[in-house]
Structure 1
Amino acid sequence: MSLKKQAISGVKWNFVQQFSVQIINFVVQVILARLLMPEMFGLIAMVIIFISIGRALMDGGMTSSLIRTKNPDQLDYSTVFVTNIIVSFIIYGVVYFSAPHIADFYNQNILTDIVRLFALTFVIQALVAVHVAKLTKEMNFKLQMKLEIPATIISAIVGVTMAYKGYGVWSLVWLNLIRAIAFTVQYWLFVDWRPSLVFDKNRFKYHFQFGYKLTLSSLLNTIYNDAYRIVIGRFFSPAAVGFFNHAETMRLFPVNQISSVVGKVTYPLFSKVNDDLALKSVYRTTMKLILLCVVPVMLSLILVAEEGFRFVFGEKWLPAVLYFQILALASIVRPVSSYNLNILKVKGRSDLFLKLEIAKKSLGVIAILIGLPFQVIGLVIASTVFFYITVIIDMHYSGRLILYSIKEQIKDIYHLFVIGGFVFLMLYPIKFYSQSYLKHDFLIASLFSTTFIILYLLVIFAFDKNLYQTLKSIIHKN
C-alpha cells in the first residue's frame, strides 16, 4: 500500500475508532454526571496525576522509539516489552506504599484504597503497550478500532450499573479498571504477536536513549497539567476539583476527537517523509484543515456553553460553565502545539523536546503562583494565557527544523481565527436577546451552534479559495 493510501486509510479507521469510543465515553459521562455528585469526580481527579505518572514511567517513551525505528524486529519489541513489565511492577509498588501519604496530603482517607486499586490500570496496560505500538507502526487502525470499542462498551456497562446501584466513586474506579482488563485481554487474543522473554542491552540503550527524554517531557507535561487539580484539591474542596475537571474534560473532548485522529496518523506518517520541504507542505495542509474544524466547533461551544451544560448535565454542573469557556480558548490552538511537537519527534530531537518542556513548565509554575490568589477562576485564566505562550514557543523551535517560521505559520492560519471571532461577535448579541422567546436549552444550543458553524464555513470558503479546493479535492479522492 502506498504512503498516501496508508495515510487515508489510517485517518479513516482512526476517525471511526476515535469517534465511536469517545461518543460512548461522552454518553457514559453524561449518565454518570447525573447519577453522581461533583465531589466524586473530584476525588478521582485528585489521584489521576499519580496514575498518569505511573503510565509514563512504565513506558519510558520506548514505544515511541519503536514507531520511529525503520525496521524494528522481534528483539526490539521483546526488549521493550520486558522493560515495561518490570518497570510497571516497580512503579506500582511505589504508588501502593505512597497511597496513605497521598490521602493525608488531601485530607481524604478514602483516597488510600482508590489509589491502590486505580493504579493497577497501568500495570495491566504494560502488557499491551508494545502490541499497540506495533499496530500503530503498521498503521493498522482498523484492528485497533475493533478491539477498543468492545472494551469501552463493557467498561461503560459496569461503571453505569455500579453508579446506579449506589457504589459512588467506586463506579468510576472500576470503569477504568475493567476497560484496561478488557482491552488487554482482546489484544492478546486477536493481535498476532507474542513477546519473547529476551532482553538485549544494546537495543534497550538505543530505545531508551531516545525515549527517556520524551518520558521526562511527558512527566513534566503530566505534572503541570494535573498541578491545577492538585492545587485546587489541596486548597479548595473536592467539589471545586470536580467542576474544574469536568470543564477540562469537556473542553478537550471535541478538539481531541479531531486532532488526536490526525495526530496518531501523522506521527508514523511524518516519520516516513525524509524531505524537509515535503514535510513542511504536509504539515501546512494538515494544520489548516484541522483548524478549519477546531475553530468553529470550539467557538460555537463557548457560545452555547451555559445552555449545553444545563441541558446535558443538569443544574448542579453550572459552576463549571465559566471554567469551560475560558479553558476552551486554549483548546482552539491545541492542535498547533501538538503538531509542532510531532515535528520535533520525527526529526529525532527528543533532546530539544525535553529542553522546551522544562522551560515551558518553569513558566507554568509562575502562572500557577500568579493565579492562585485569585481562587479557581484565577488558575483557569492563568492556564489559558500560559498555553498561548507555549504555542508560540513550539511554533518557533519546530518551525526552524522545517524552515517554517512563526511569521509564515501565522500568515497561513490567522484568518481562520479572525473570521471565527467575527462570527462569534455577530451571533452573541442575537443569542442574548433571543433568550426571551427561545426558552428551551436544547433549541438554543443546537440552533446557534449549527448556525455558527455554517456561517463560519461560508465566510472561510469565500475568503480562502485554496483551502476550499484542498478540502474538495480530499473529499473527491476519498
Structure 2
Amino acid sequence: MSTQKNQTSEAKYYDYFNTNHLKSNLKQRSVRGGVVTITAQASKFILKFGSTAVLARLLVPEDYGLIGMATVVVGFVEYFKDLGLSAATIQRAEINHKQVSTLFWINLGVSCLVALIVALLAPAIANFYHEPRLKKITLGLAINFIFGGLTVQHQALLRRQMQFTSLAKIEVVSMTLGVFTAIIAAYSGLRYWALVLMLIAIAISNAIGVWLACGWRPGLPSRNSGVLKMLAFGGNLTGFNLVNYFSRNLDNVLIGRRWGSQELGLYAQAYKLVLLPIQQINNPISSVALPTLASLQSQPEKYCRFYYQAMLSISTLGMPIIGFLFASANDVILLLLGEQWLETVPIFKLLMPAAFNATIGVGMGWAYQSLGNVGRQFRWGIVSSMLNAVLFFIGVRWGAIGVAAVFGLSRPFFLLAGFTYCFAQTPLKLTKLISTLSMPTLASIGAAIILSYIKLVLPIEINTLMIVLIDLGFYTLLYLLIWILLPNGRKTLWEMVQLSKVLRQR
C-alpha cells in the first residue's frame, strides 16, 4: 500500500523532478531565464535604491548599526536552514519525490531548531555588544527562519525546472511589500524596527508566493530515500558558506565591538551600497547559470563555452557600474543618503576593489557546485577565511576605514589564487578566463580614471542629481570608446549588441 502511494505521488509530481524536456531547448530557456531574472533584479534594484534613499533620511546610522550587530549572528546561523540542500536538488541529475520530501522535513526541522537557538542567544548577543536593545531585535529576526525553512525545496524545484518567471514575480512582490512596510514603520517613528519589519514581511510574503507557484507538496520523510550523497554535497557547501560568512562578517563584529554602533552603521551602509548593484546582477545570472552548467557537466566543450559567455556577460554589466560609483562616489552618496552620510565616502571608495572583484568572483561558486567539487570549495573557504580574519584584526586598529582598506586592497590577490585553485582538475582554463574578461576590465578601469581626473580638474557646481546624470553619461561614452579601441573590441561589442537584440525578441 505504501509503495503504491509513493508511486502515485511520484507520477503526480513527475514534472517537477524530470529535466529531460529542458535539454532540447536549453539555450533558449537560459536566454529567456536570463532576460526575466535580470528584468526582475532591475526592478528590485530600483526598489532597494529608492528605499535606501528614503530610509536613510528617516533613520540614523545608529539604527543601521544595531541591525548590523544582530544580523551578523542571525545571518551566520541562517545557513543551517538550507544546509546546501537546495543546491543539491538543483545539481543532482535525477531525484524523486521521497528524496525531496525527506530534504524538505530536514530543512524545516533544522530551521525551527535554528530559530529556537537564535532566540536563546538573544541575551548573549545583547551582552556581547553591551546593547540591551539587541535582545528584542534578535527575537524578532528569529521568526524569519521558520518561513525560510518552508521554502528551500520549493524554490529549488522551481529553479531546477527553470521557472524563472514565477521566481522573479515572487521576489519583486516580496521586496515591494517589505519596502512599503519599512517606509510606513519608519514614518511612524519605529526607527530600527522598520528594518526588522521589512525583513519579516519579505520572508512571509516570499513563503506564501513560493507555495502558490510550486504545486509540489511534501510527503512523509523516509529513511531509505537515498539522500546521503545529497546530504554530503550539502554539508560541504554549508561548510564553505559558514566559514565564508564568518570571514565576511568578522569585520562587522570587530567594528561593532570596538567602535560601537555609529562607526558600524557608517561601515555597514557603505558596504551595502557597494555590493547592492552587484547583487542585482550576480543573483539573477547565477540563478540561470548554475542549473544550466549542471545540465552540461557531462559535455566539457559546451560547458566551457557557456561558462566563459556567462562570465563575460556578468563582468560587462557589473564592472562599469563599480567603476562609475568609484569615480562619482561623493555625489552618489550625497544624492542617495544625504549630507549626514558623507563620512562613508572614503570607506565606500576603499571597498570598491572588493566590489569590482565580486562581479566575477561568483564564477568560482558556479564551477565548484555545477561540477560537484564542493569539497574543494570548502577547503578553499577555510584557507581564505583564516587569511581574512588576520587582515581584519590588523585593520580594526584604525576603525572602519582601516578594515575597508585591508579588505578592499587584498581582494585582487585572493581572486587570482581562488580561480587558480578552482580551475585545477577541470576543463576550465585561467588564461582563457583572463582573456575573456580583459575588455570589460580595462574599459571600466580606464573610464573611471579619466572621469575621476576630469572631476578633479573641472569641478561642476550644479544640482547633485544633474551631476550624477552627466557623470553617468560621460562614463558610459568613455567605457564604450575604450572598449572599441581595444584589439577585437569592436567585434566583441558588436556580437554582444546582436545578442541583446535576440534577447529582446525572445
TM-score scaled by length of structure 2: 0.91
Distance (whole Å) between structure 1 residues aligned to residue 115 and residue 208 of structure 2 = 20
Alignment-derived partner of residue 274 in structure 2 = 251
Query: Residue 217 of structure 1: which of 215, 221, 240 is its match?
Result: 240
Residues 369 and 257 of structure 1, relative CA distance in 2, 3 Å threshold: same
The aligned runs of 1:436-455 (5 Å cut-off) are 437-455=460-478
Q: Distance in 1 between matches of 2:119 and 2:61?
A: 26
- Map of 1:462 onto structure 2: 485
* Contact preservation (8 Å) 1:124, 1:184: yes
Point out where structure 1 has 5 or more consecutive residues left out of the alignment.
none
- Give SS of 1:348's match: coil
Cα distance 1:427–1:189, how it changes in 2: closer, same or farther (>3 A)?
A: closer
- Secondary structure of the 2:182 match is helix
SS at match of 1:203: coil
Measure how far apart 1:286 and its partner are.
Answer: 1.8
Gaps of 5+ in 2: 1-21
Question: Are 1:66 and 1:76, in contact at CA under 8 Å, matched by a contact in 2?
Answer: no
Cα distance change of structure 1 residues 204 and 49 upon mapping to structure 2, 3 Å threshold: farther
| Structure 2 equivalent of residue 123 of structure 1 | 146
* Alignment correspondent of 1:345: 369
User: Which stretch has the larger CA shift, 98-107 or 423-432?
Assistant: 423-432
Kindly provide the CA deviation profile for residues 44-76 of structure 1, in whole angstroms up to 9, marking residues without a partner as x: 011112222222111111111000112222112
Specify the alignment match of 2:413 in structure 1.
389
Structure 2 match to 1:34: 57
The Cα offsets for residues 93-144 of structure 1, whole Å up to 9 and x where unpaired, read as: 2111111111010000010111011111122111111111111111111011
Correspondence list, 1:106-121, <5 A? 106-121=129-144
Percent identity of equivalent pairs: 23
Preserved CA contact (<8 Å) 1:17 1:144? no
Asked whether 1:309 is paired with 2:333, we answer: yes
* Counterparts of 1:429 and 1:336, CA distance in 2: 26
From 85, 108, 113, the counterpart of 1:62: 85
Question: What are the equivalent positions in structure 2 for 1:288-367 lying under 5 Å apart?
Answer: 288-367=312-391
User: Separation in 2 of the partners of 1:269 and 1:164?
Assistant: 44
Residue by residue, what CA displacement relative to the aligned partner does 1:253-294 show, whole Å, maximum 9, x if unpaired? 111212222111100000011222322222222212222222
Moved over 6 A (4+): none
Structure 2 CA distance for aligned equivalents of residues 197 and 25 of structure 1: 39
TM-score (norm 1): 0.96
The structure 1 residue matched to 2:496, chosen from 451, 464, 471, is 471
User: Against the structure 1 CA distance between its residues 120 and 318, is the aligned structure 2 distance closer, same or farther, given a 3 Å change threshold?
Assistant: same
Structure 2 counterparts to residues 97-176 of structure 1, below 5 A: 97-176=120-199
**Residue aligning to 1:5:** 28
Tell me whether 1:275 sits opposite 2:292 in the alignment. Answer: no
State the shift of 1:14 in Å.
Answer: 0.9
Alpha carbons 1:247, 1:323 under 8 Å: kept: yes
> Which of 172, 179, 188 is the equivalent residue of 2:211?
188
Instruction: Assess if the C-alpha contact under 8 Å between 1:297 and 1:453 holds in 2.
Output: no
- Structure-1 separation of matches of 2:365 and 2:406: 22
Q: Structure 1 residues 344, 42: CA separation in 2 closer, same or farther (over 3 Å shift)?
A: same
Q: Aligned letter for 1:316? A: Q
Q: Secondary structure at the match of 1:333?
A: helix
Q: C-alpha deviations, 1:222-256, integer Å up to 9, x for none? A: 11111111111000020111111111111111112
Q: Paired residue for 1:198, among 216, 221, 236?
A: 221
With 102-111 and 122-131 compared, the bigger mean Cα shift is at 122-131
In the alignment of these two chains, the number of paired residues is 477
Q: CA, structure 1 residues 303+70, in 2 after alignment: closer, same or farther (shift >3 Å)? A: same
1:238 maps to: 261
Q: 2:96 is matched by which residue type in structure 1?
A: D
In terms of mean alpha carbon deviation, does 252-261 or 105-114 score higher?
252-261
Residues in 2 aligned to 1:424 and 1:97: alpha-carbon distance in whole angstroms: 48
**Pairwise CA RMSD:** 1.6
Q: 1:450 to 1:203 in 2, by over 3 A?
A: farther
For residue 193 of structure 1, give the secondary structure of its aligned residue in structure 2. Answer: coil
Out of 421, 424, 431, the residue aligned to residue 455 of structure 2 is 431
Match of 2:12 in 1: none
The answer on whether the counterparts of 2:178 and 2:199 sit within 8 Å (CA) in structure 1 is: yes
CA distance in 2, matches of 1:353, 1:288: 22
Deviation string 1:195-224 (CA, Å, 9 cap, x unpaired) is 112233553312111100100100111111
The answer to whether the 8 A contact 2:37-2:168 is kept is yes
